[in-house]
Amino acid sequence: MDITRRTFGVSAAAAAAASALPAIPSRAWAMPPSMGFRKTPLVIAHRGASGERPESTLLAFRQAIAEGADFIEPDLEVTKDGHLVVRHENEISQTTDVAQRPEFAARKTTKSVQGTQVTGWFTEDFTLAELKSIRCRERLPKLRPGSAAYDGREQVPTYQEVIDLAKAESARLKRPIGTYPELKHASHFEALGLRMEGRLADILKKNNLDSETAPVFIQCFDVLPLKTMKTLVKCQRIQLVSPQGAPTDQKTPYKEMVSASGMQAIAQYAHGVGPDWSMVIPTVDGGLGPATALVKDAHAAGLAVHPWTVRAENFFLPPKLRNGTDPAAHGDVDAVYRALLASGIDGLFSDFPGLWAKVRG
């Protein structure tokens, strides 16, 4: 869900299990501790255990569940024939071997995706069957060679397959495991006649997940898709925000959206906010500074706070938390987890859900 850094090669029997899925108390997943619900922050696996397995694969999601994740996060894109598939971006050359497939060489093209020119291969130009013929790979191989060892083992999953996995594991482990789908490039797909919102609503209803107590969060950086989803299903919704920029469908900067007054506006259509973690615990003089007012202001508006995305590698950590000079080495990520935990957050995205689960206790 983050804006990718372009260094080191960086360019993103279920039906039976459904009845066994444990019920959860109303709004228990989202509401802040001040409301008496979220006493233990959620472990949200960012595209699965994406620090250890190629992101957004069933392999990564299984690993995350084994490490104690409460929710697994699939980013959603749409195929040519209308299926919701799980990829970080609709351009798939960074996370699959499509560029090495001669049968698809002619599909390479350049498109404008929500105002940005992108060259590559796009989910909307492939049928589901065609996408299933290619294989997934690690997006950050220089930073995560251990994960890259699993390249080529997995297909691109559908959102339905991720739901099936979550339901089956919920039944097996006797604890609720939810999915946290992100609507990506919704206006881009709508312009192509592949509107995402109705497709997502249909899948949720088909799987008996159309309720506020269902283990589902719907997230988006834009505003209108969340407002549309509010009219289609009862599932909880999270407004994503970034330190810079604004939603593509309105001019209000993200920083203004998470002001005390802005939170009141978000509360009219969402259950929570998902800020970059640095908006909660900023970097000050190369280390971790004191918590901002974001959590307090969100809770005052009745909103949960689920920051994204904590990664363990030196490359992603403030200078004072790094361990040596190797960008792939793990630094003092526990310090980030502890600071965010102390700030009162209600859940946290991590590429290493097991590390976060251990600190959370």
Task: Determine, yes or no, domain membership for 200.
Answer: yes
HSE value, Cβ hemisphere, 13 Å, CA-based, for 135:
10
In a domain, 306, yes or no: yes
Residue 24 lies in a domain: yes
Q: Is there a domain that residue 1 lies in? A: no
Return the sign of the alpha-carbon dihedral for residues 294, 300, 306, 310: positive
By residue range, what is the domain housing residue 131? 14-360
Per-residue pLDDT tens over the stretch 71-129 = 999 999 999 999 999 999 999 999 999 999 999 999 999 999 988 999 999 999 999 99
Three-state DSSP at 170 gives helix
Backbone angles phi, psi at 68, to 5 degrees: 105, 15
Domain contains 8: no
- 152 vs 178: CA distance, rounded Å: 27
Checking if the pLDDT of 296 tops 70, the result is yes
159: helix, strand or coil: helix
Please write the tens of the pLDDT for every residue from 189-243.
999 999 999 999 999 999 999 999 999 999 999 999 999 999 999 999 999 999 9
In a domain, 163, yes or no: yes
CATH number, position 206? 3.20.20.190
Give a yes or no: residue 220 inside a domain. Answer: yes
Count up the domains in the chain and report the number.
1
DSSP code string of 298-318: HHHTT-EE--B-B--BGGGS-
For residue 98, give the DSSP letter. G
Share of the chain above pLDDT 70, in %: 89
**pLDDT computed for residue 1 by the predictor:** 62
Q: How confident is the model at residue 159 (pLDDT cuts 50, 70, 90)?
A: very high
User: One-letter amino acid identity for 154?
Assistant: E
Domain assignment of residue 212, yes or no:
yes
Q: Work out the number of other CB atoms within 10 angstroms of the CB of residue 22.
A: 12
